[in-house]
Structure 1
Amino acid sequence: MAKLQGKGIFVWKIPKCEGGDVQQIASVARDAALTHVIIKVANGIWKYNYDWDRHIDFCPPLVQSLRRRGIEPWGWHYVFGEDPIREARIAVERVNTLGLRGYVINAEAHYKRARNRHAAAEIFMRELRRGVGRDVLLALSSYRYPSLHPELPWNQFLRVCDLNMPQVYWIHAHNPAEQLEQTLRAFASPDIDAPPPIVPTGSAFSEHGWTASASEVRAFLDAARALNLDAVNFWEWHAARDRLPPDMWATISEYDWENGVPEPLDIAVAYIDALNARNPANVAALYASNAVHITSSFTTRGRAAIEGWYRQLFGRVLPDAVFTLANYSGAGSVRHLTWTADSSTGRVVDGRDTIGLNPAGEIVYHYTFFTVR
C-alpha cells in the first residue's frame, strides 16, 4: 500500500475551480508541486460533481488529467449515517469506476445526529473496506478535537482507516502551529482505540469575517514538517485560488515540502554533537541562563559557570575526547541518555545523564554521571 506524502488540497465543486477546466486544474496542481488532489465524488447516497440534467460526470476527466501529470487523485465523500449500506455502495462504485487509490470519509454534524450512528459507521466502514480491498487507502476527515464531539463514532471510523485527516481550522484565531500540536495530542488520547497516522488539513479559506493568512499557512506547513508528518492538505481550491489574496496560493505553491524545515536534532543528539565540537561556549549555549548542572561532586549554577565546567572537562578531564551517544529515551521536557567517550587520558564507558528542558527547549536541569578509566 502506497504511503501518502507531500502537499495536497481538497476540491469541492469542480466547475468553480479554474472555470471547470480540468487541464488547467491539473497544470496548476503540478506547478504547485502537489502530490495529491482530493475531489468530492459523493454526497450521501449520490454521486457528486455530476450534472444530473445532462448526465455528465465531471470527475473522470479531472482524475485522468491529474494522473497524467503524476498527481494522485483521491476522492472524498460527505456521509450522513442514515443509510450506511447505500452510502457504502456509492463509495465503492466511485472508487472502482474512477480507479482511485485513496478515499476520504467526511463525517461531521449530520453524523453526530444520525440514529444508531455507531452501528451505521461500523456497517459503512465494513462494507467500504470489503468493496475496495486493502490496496485503497481510507482516511477520516472530521473535527480536530474529538473530546469536543463525543457524539461522533470516532473509533468505528478510525479502526478501519489508514489515515486520520483532522480539520485543523484555526478559525477566529491565528495560532496554526499550536492548534496542530494540540490536535496531535488530542488524538493520542486513550479514548481513541487505534489512532492511525495523521495528515492534517489546514485553513486556506475565509469564514464569517475571518480569513487565514499566507503567513499562518506557512507556519502551519513549517509545524507539520517539524512534527515529522508525512503529508498535509488544505481546504479548499476555489477559496485559495479565487477568493483570497494571491499570496495564499503562492505560499502553498512555493513551499518546498522536502526541504521546508530541516528535521530538528533531538537535544540528546545536539548535546553529543556539541561535546564533539569541544567548544565550551557552544555547549553552554544549550542551557538556560538559570540552569543547574549536577555531578556526583559538584553543583554548578548558571550558564557562565557551566561553560567553565566544560572548559575543565575538555582541557583536563577528557582532552581531545570523542563522544558517542549509546542510547537515549524520553520525550517532551525530559531525556535520559547513555554515552561513552575516548580521550588521550582515559575512557568513559558508563556515562549516564538526565536532562530537563524548559518550554523553549533549553536545558534547565542536567544530572551527569561518569567515571574515567
Structure 2
Amino acid sequence: MSASTAAHKATTHLAAALAALIALVLAAASIAQAASSGGTQAGGAAVKAPSGATAPATGRASLHVTSVRIAAVRCTPASRCSANPHQVSTHGTLQLAGSGLKAGMVLAFPRAPGARVSRSSPAARLRTAAAGLIVTVPASAHSGHIMVLLSGGRYTSSYGPIYVYRHALHPPVAKVPVPSIIGATSASGSAFDGQGMWIWYVSKSGGNAAAILAQAHAATVGTVFIKSSDGSSNYWSQFSPQLVAELHAGGLKVCAWQYVYGTNPTGEAALGAKAAASGADCLVIDAESEYEGRYSSAQKYITALRATVGASYPVALASFPYVSYHPSLPYSVFLGPEGAQYNAPQMYWKDIGVSVDTVFANTYIGNRIYARPIFPLGQTYGGISNADLLRFREEAVDYGATGASYWDWQETTPSGWSTLAAPLAPLTSVTPNTSYPELHSGSKGDQVLWLQEHLASAIPSQETTGTFASQTSANLRAFQAAHGISASGVADAATWTALLAL
C-alpha cells in the first residue's frame, strides 16, 4: 500500500465518522423538537410512569421529571361542563394547576379510551388565560390519563382519568322534585320509587345525557332504566360509566336492565354484574318465555349474580304479569330467597287486551304471594289513550305502589310525556283487589310449587312437585286445621296469609 493510498483511506474514514456524528446530532435534535411540539418521545422501550400510565418510550428512568407535576385539572367554563370537573368535550377547555407548569408545554391525551400515552398521542400546548393555565382538548383525544411531555424525551407523572366526550356538556339541571307514588305503604328507599322510564336505545331516546335529563325532569321522571345487555355475551356499550355519571350528576337515578335467556346463566349474571359495576343504581332481570321451565338456570343465575353484587344490591324481576298464564316460568326462584327484592311486572293492558282496572287486579292477585314490593310497569306505546295512561298512574297509587315505570321512551308521544307530568287526583272509583290465587287439587305450576315450599316448612314430608295432588291436599287440610282455618283443602286468602307468615 502506498503512502498516498493510506492517506486517502484515512481521510475517507475520518469523513465517514464525521458524517455519522453529524447525523446522530441531527437525529437527537429532531427527536427533542418533536417531543416538545407534538407529544413524541425518544426511541426505546416504553417504561411505566409511577402513577401507572405508560410514559413516553425511553429506557432511562432519569427522563421521568418530578419537578413538573399536574396537581389539579378541571373543565372550564362552568357553562360548558358537567358537575364532574374531570369531564370535558372535545374542543373543550381544561384548566390545570400544579408545580413547574408553564405556557408552551405539551399536554398529551390517550388516542383511544384508556390507552397509554405514546409518541402518537394527540396533544396540545398549555397557554395562559385569565383563569390560569388552560389547554384545548384535541378532536382526537379520548378518556384516560393525561401527561405533560417535555423536550429531550422527558415526561411527567400522569394525571387522571379525564373523561372526554364527543358531545357538548352542560351544567346539571336543577332537580325537579319528583313526587313519590305513595299509597298505603312507605317508599322503599330504592331507585324504583317515584316515576321511571325505560330506554331501549339511547340513540333513539334523546341521544345524550343532556337531552335525557331535560325530558326526564320535565315529565317528573326520577329513574331511567337503560338496556345494558342481551344474553350472555352481548354487553351494550350504551350503558357506560360516563353516561351513568352524567345522568347522576343531573339528578337522575340510573338502572340497568338485561334480557336473559337461560342458556348460559353464569354468563348472563356476569353481564348483570358488569352493569352494576358501571354505576347502576339497580339491575332489572327481563326474563320471559325463553326462561320457561329453566328452574336450574334461574338458580344458577341468581347464585352467580349475588356472589358478585352482594346480597343487598337492588334487583328486580320484570316479567309476565299473569303468573297463571306462564306456569313454568321460575318466578319462585327469581323472586325467592336471595333473588330479586322487587317485582316489576309488565302490565301492558292494551297488549293483553284488557282494561287498566283488570290488569291491576289480575297482576296483584297472581304476584301477591311472592311477597315482594310490586312496582307496576305500564306502557306508553301502541296508541294507548292519555286517559288510560293517567288511570294507570292513579291506580298504582290506589294499590299502594311506591313507584311505577313505563315502556318505553322512544315510543312515548308528546301528549304521553305531558300525561306523565300531570298532577294526580285521588282515585275513588276503584277498590284494590286484595285476593290471592285459589289453588286446589289439580292445579299446576309455579304458584303450586311456591305453595308446596311454604307448606314443607310446616310439614317436612311435603314434596315440591309443582302439581297439586293428594299429598298436597291432605297436608294443606292438616295445616288449615292446625291454624284455625276451615280445612277445605283449597289455598284461599286466609291460608296464604298463614303460609306466608311462616
- Whole-angstrom distance in 2 between the partners of 1:223 and 1:165: 15
Asked whether 1:185 is paired with 2:365, we answer: yes
TM-score (norm 1): 0.61
What is the CA-CA distance between 1:85 and the residue it aligns to?
1.0
Alignment correspondent of 2:392: 220
- Which of 274, 279, 290 is the aligned partner of 1:93? 274
Alignment correspondent of 1:164: 343
Which whole-Å deviations, capped at 9, do the CAs of 1:274-318 have from their partners, x for residues lacking one? xxxxxxxxxxxxxxxxxxxxxxxxxxxxxxxxxxxxxxxxxxxxx
Gap regions ≥5 residues in structure 1: 51-56, 268-330, 333-373
Contact 2:235 2:271 in 1 (8 A): no
Give SS of 2:308's match: helix
- Which of 239, 242, 253 is the aligned partner of 1:72? 253
Asked whether 1:250 is paired with 2:418, we answer: yes
Which amino acid in structure 1 is aligned with residue 368 of structure 2?
Answer: A
- Whole-angstrom distance in 2 between the partners of 1:176 and 1:152: 24
Contact 1:23 1:62 in 2 (8 A): no
Contact 1:204 1:248 in 2 (8 A): yes
The change in CA–CA distance for 1:22 and 1:202 in structure 2 (over 3 A counts) is: same
- Whole-angstrom distance in 1 between the partners of 2:239 and 2:258: 15
What is the CA-CA distance between 1:60 and the residue it aligns to?
2.8
Which amino acid in structure 1 is aligned with residue 252 of structure 2?
Answer: I
The change in CA–CA distance for 1:135 and 1:23 in structure 2 (over 3 A counts) is: farther
Contact 1:78 1:106 in 2 (8 A): yes
Gap regions ≥5 residues in structure 2: 1-187, 436-502
Which whole-Å deviations, capped at 9, do the CAs of 1:248-296 have from their partners, x for residues lacking one? 11101x134xxx24487x99xxxxxxxxxxxxxxxxxxxxxxxxxxxxx
The change in CA–CA distance for 1:130 and 1:179 in structure 2 (over 3 A counts) is: same
Contact 1:100 1:136 in 2 (8 A): no
What is the CA-CA distance between 1:38 and the residue it aligns to?
0.5
Please give the root-mean-square deviation of Cα atoms over the aligned residues, in Å: 2.4
Alignment correspondent of 2:200: 12
Give SS of 2:271's match: helix
- Whole-angstrom distance in 1 between the partners of 2:390 and 2:302: 34
- Whole-angstrom distance in 2 between the partners of 1:101 and 1:226: 26
- Which of 6, 17, 21 is the aligned partner of 2:208? 21
The alignment-based identity, stated in percent, is: 28
Contact 2:226 2:239 in 1 (8 A): no
The change in CA–CA distance for 1:58 and 1:126 in structure 2 (over 3 A counts) is: closer
- How many pairs does the alignment contain? 243
- Whole-angstrom distance in 1 between the partners of 2:395 and 2:303: 34
Deviation above 6 Å: which 4+ runs of structure 1? none
- Which of 145, 161, 168 is the aligned partner of 2:322? 145
Structure number with greater Rg is 2
TM-score (norm 2): 0.46
Alignment correspondent of 1:61: 242
The change in CA–CA distance for 1:255 and 1:224 in structure 2 (over 3 A counts) is: same
- Whole-angstrom distance in 2 between the partners of 1:7 and 1:46: 31
What is the CA-CA distance between 1:175 and the residue it aligns to?
1.4
Give SS of 1:166's match: coil
Between Structure 1 and Structure 2, the one with more strand by share is 1
Asked whether 1:237 is paired with 2:409, we answer: yes
- Whole-angstrom distance in 2 between the partners of 1:147 and 1:43: 26
Which whole-Å deviations, capped at 9, do the CAs of 1:157-184 have from their partners, x for residues lacking one? 0111110000000125361132112211
Contact 2:241 2:279 in 1 (8 A): no
- Whole-angstrom distance in 1 between the partners of 2:220 and 2:276: 24
- Whole-angstrom distance in 1 between the partners of 2:368 and 2:359: 14
